[in-house]
Amino acid sequence: MIVKGPAKGRWRIGRHFTTEPTSIQAHELTEAQWLALSGDPELLVSVVDPPD
């Protein structure tokens, strides 16, 4: 997944997200963390397929 935050930044799941895209592997997250990220209206979360 790729996560981007607002210009002022946003802390969620113990990580700081800014306008710089942050890549996170699915296996690094618990279900609760996934729900916290995907449900946060201040974060842009994109799910991408891993490269072959």
- Chain centroid, CA 2 distance in Å: 6
User: Does residue 2 surpass a pLDDT of 80?
Assistant: yes
What is the C-alpha to C-alpha distance for residues 35 and 25, in angstroms, rounded to an integer? 15
Residue 49's pLDDT band (cuts 50, 70, 90):
confident
Q: Quick one: which of 18, 13, 16 has its CA closest to 32?
A: 13
In our burial notation (b when 16+ CB lie closer than 10 A, e otherwise), range 1-27 reads: bebbbeeeebebbeeebeeeeeebeee
The whole-number average pLDDT for the span 2-11 is 97
| 51 vs 5 pLDDT, higher one | 5
pLDDT per position as a tens digit, 15-40: 999 999 999 998 999 999 999 999 99
Question: Which pTM was predicted?
Answer: 0.87
